[in-house]
Amino acid sequence: MSKVKLDVLKPWITQKITEILKMEDDVVIDYVNNQLEEKVASKHY
């Protein structure tokens, strides 16, 4: 996960979640992004 560029993935994640749910749900999008950020942060320690 340390090589993953979250800035590149976030728009794609937002698009895919919106496609799957057929609506934009900020709570779900933020949850997914936060989970990924925690994974990346935990790998740096």
String of DSSP letters for 6-27: HHHHHHHHHHHHHHHHTS--HH
For residue 31, what pLDDT is reported?
98
Which phi-psi region, left, alpha or beta, contains residue 22 (left: φ > 0; alpha: ψ -120 to 50)?
left
Taking residue 41's Cβ as centre, other Cβ atoms within 10 Å add up to: 10
CATH of domain 6-43: 1.20.1390.10
What percent helix, strand, coil does the chain show, rounded to 5?
75, 0, 25
Output the pTM of the full model: 0.81
Read off the tokens for 11. Answer: 């728009």
Q: What is the pLDDT of residue 1?
A: 63
- pLDDT, one tens digit per residue, over 1-45 is 667 789 999 999 999 999 999 999 999 999 999 999 988 777 765
